[in-house]
C-alpha cells in the first residue's frame, strides 16, 4: 500500500517512486544533494487560484502572507497571478519590490513596526497599515507627518474568537498580543479619523492559523460587521474588510478542510445580508497557498536500535524544519522508493530524528517505515514555515530550494557555502 500524500495530484508515486509533477524526486536529490526543498509550481498556482476565482464576483484583494515562504521566485510568480502581499517587516517589503510585486497591493501587519519600516512603507505607498495598538497609531502619525504624507490604515481588532488551533498560532483571543480589543476599537477609530495624516480604509482581524473549519471565521465576521455598524453611526466609512489568514491544509489522512469557495461565499453572504456586500474582501493566506506545494527531501544516514525506540537518523534537522519541535506538528514522512511487500527489508517503527545535539531534534515519531541507510525520505507539506523558519544552528548550511514546473525544474535558492556563515564575523586579538 502506497503512503498517503496530502497533494496527490502534484506529488505521486510512479512505479513505486515518488515524483513531483513530471520529475522524480530522486533525480533532484542526486543532482543537488540533501537536504533539499522541492516545490511544485502547479500546486502553488492551483491553491492561489482557488481563492482568486472564488473572490472574482466581488471586490477583492487576495494577499499572500509572505511569512509562510518568502522566496522571491515564489513571490514573483504569485505577483504575476495578481496577488497582493501581507508583510510583517520592512525586509519582506524589500522582497516584494525585488520580486516585482506591487507595493500598492501590500498590507503591513505586525505588532512591532519600527520607525524605519514605517517610513520605508510610506515611501513606497503601500496599500494599508494594519494597526495593532494605539502607540503604533501615534507612531504612524508621527512618521507620516515628517514625510508630509497620508498613511492609509485599518485597525486590526481582536474579536476574542477561539480558532480551536495550536496555542502558538492562535491570534484572536484576549490573551494574545495581537490587535486592539474590539470594545476599544470605536474610540481608536474616532481618534484616527481626526488626524490629517491618516486615512481610514478598513477593518482587519486575524484569528489564527491552520483553521480547518469556517465557523470561527463566521463568528469573527459577525463581530466585525457589528463594529462596522457602530463606525457608520459615527460617520466613519470603510472600504474593505480584511478577514486575515485563509484556511488550513490537510497534513494527514482523514483530515478534512473546507474549500476556499465555501469560506468566501459564507462570508460574503453575511456581508450582503448586513448591507456591506460592496466592501472589498481581503484575505492574507499563506499556508493554504504553499503548504502542500513543498517537500523536504532527506537521506537516511543510520538506523539505530535503542533500548525502547528505534531511530531513523537523517541528514535533515530541526534547523531545516522546526515545526515538529516547535508545534509538535505532525507531518507525513514518505519514502521516495516504496519496497514491495515480499522484500526482505522489514517494516519497523522509528522515530525520525536529525543530527543536532538536542532531544527535540525530530521530524516524526513512531512512524512505520520499510527503509535502509541511504534511502531517501520526503517530509510532506513542507512548503510553509520550513525555509522561512530555518536557522544556522550547529553551523549547518540552509538547504537549496528547487521549483518544479511540469518536467522542468529550477534552482530558486542555492545551497549555502560554509564561508558565508561567518563572513560577517570578525576575530579580535585581546
CB 243 within 8 A of CB 267: yes
Q: Is 284 annotated as a binding residue?
A: yes
Per-residue pLDDT tens for 287-307? 999 999 999 999 999 999 988
Q: Is 208 annotated as a binding residue?
A: no
> Can you state the angle between helices 72-80 and 41-55, rounded to 10 degrees?
40
Active site members: 357
Average pLDDT of the chain is 94
Per-residue pLDDT tens for 174-231? 556 678 999 999 999 999 999 999 999 999 998 887 888 899 899 999 999 999 999 9
Q: Is 385 annotated as a binding residue?
A: yes
Per-residue pLDDT tens for 86-138? 999 999 999 999 999 999 999 999 999 999 999 999 999 999 999 999 999 99
Which pTM value belongs to this model? 0.94
CB 34 within 8 A of CB 316: yes
Q: How far apart are CA 43 and CA 36, in angstroms?
A: 18
Residue 271 reports pLDDT greater than 50: yes
Q: Is 358 annotated as a binding residue?
A: yes
Q: Is 120 annotated as a binding residue?
A: no
Residue 234 reports pLDDT greater than 60: yes
Q: Is 246 annotated as a binding residue?
A: yes
* Domains present along the chain, CATH in parentheses: 11-40+292-421 (2.40.37.10), 109-285 (3.20.20.10)
- Cell triple for residue 329? 506538528
- Cell triple for residue 35? 537536504
277 confidence band (pLDDT: 50, 70, 90) = very high
Distance of CA 378 to the CA centre of its chain: 19
Amino acid at each position: 500500500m502506497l503512503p498517503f500524500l496530502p497533494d496527490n495530484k502534484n506529488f505521486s508515486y510512479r512505479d513505486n517512486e515518488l515524483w513531483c509533477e513530471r520529475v522524480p524526486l530522486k533525480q533532484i536529490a542526486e543532482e543537488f544533494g540533501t537536504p533539499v526543498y522541492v516545490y511544485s509550481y502547479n500546486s502553488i498556482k492551483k491553491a492561489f487560484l482557488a481563492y482568486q476565482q472564488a473572490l472574482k464576483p466581488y471586490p477583492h484583494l487576495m494577499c499572500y502572507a509572505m511569512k509562510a515562504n518568502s522566496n522571491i521566485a515564489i513571490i514573483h510568480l504569485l505577483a504575476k497571478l495578481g496577488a497582493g502581499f501581507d508583510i510583517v517587516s520592512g525586509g519582506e517589503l524589500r522582497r516584494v519590490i525585488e520580486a516585482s510585486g506591487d507595493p500598492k497591493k501590500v498590507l503591513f501587519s505586525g505588532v512591532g513596526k519600527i520607525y524605519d519600516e514605517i517610513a520605508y512603507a510610506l515611501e513606497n505607498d503601500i496599500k494599508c497599515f494594519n494597526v495593532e495598538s494605539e502607540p503604533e497609531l501615534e507612531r504612524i502619525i508621527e512618521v507620516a507627518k515628517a514625510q508630509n504624507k497620508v498613511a492609509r490604515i485599518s485597525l486590526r481588532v481582536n474579536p476574542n474568537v477561539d480558532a480551536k488551533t495550536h496555542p502558538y498560532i492562535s491570534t484572536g483571543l484576549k490573551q494574545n498580543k495581537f490587535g486592539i480589543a474590539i470594545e476599544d476599537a470605536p474610540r481608536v477609530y474616532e481618534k484616527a479619523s481626526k488626524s490629517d495624516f491618516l486615512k481610514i480604509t478598513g477593518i482587519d482581524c486575524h484569528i489564527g492559523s491552520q483553521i480547518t473549519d469556517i465557523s470561527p471565521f463566521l463568528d469573527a465576521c459577525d463581530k466585525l460587521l457589528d463594529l462596522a455598524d457602530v463606525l457608520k453611526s459615527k460617520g466613519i466609512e470603510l472600504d474593505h474588510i480584511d478577514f486575515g489568514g485563509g484556511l488550513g491544509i490537510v497534513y494527514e489522512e482523514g483530515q478534512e478542510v473546507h474549500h476556499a469557495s465555501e469560506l468566501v461565499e459564507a462570508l460574503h453572504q453575511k456581508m450582503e445580508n448586513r448591507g456591506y456586500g460592496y466592501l472589498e474582501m481581503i484575505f492574507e493566506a499563506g499556508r493554504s497557498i504553499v503548504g502542500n506545494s513543498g517537500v523536504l527531501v532527506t537521506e537516511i544516514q543510520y538506523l539505530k536500535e535503542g533500548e525502547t525506540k528505534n531511530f531513523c537518523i537523517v541528514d535533515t534537522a530541526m534547523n531545516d524544519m522546526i515545526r515538529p519541535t516547535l508545534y509538535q506538528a505532525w507531518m507525513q514522512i514518505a519514502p521516495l522508493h516504496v519496497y514491495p511487500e515480499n522484500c526482505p527489508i522489514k517494516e519497523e517503527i522509528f522515530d525520525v530524528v536529525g543530527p543536532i545535539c538536542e532531544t527535540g531534534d525530530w521530524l516524526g515519531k513512531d512512524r512505520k517505515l520499510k527503509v535502509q541507510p541511504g534511502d531517501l525520505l520526503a517530509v510532506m507539506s513542507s512548503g510553509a514555515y520550513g525555509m522561512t523558519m530555518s536557522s544556522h544552528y550547529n553551523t549547518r548550511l540552509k538547504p537549496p530550494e528547487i521549483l518544479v514546473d511540469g518536467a522542468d525544474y529550477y534552482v530558486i535558492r542555492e545551497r549555502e557555502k560554509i564561508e558565508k556563515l561567518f563572513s560577517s564575523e570578525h576575530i579580535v586579538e585581546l
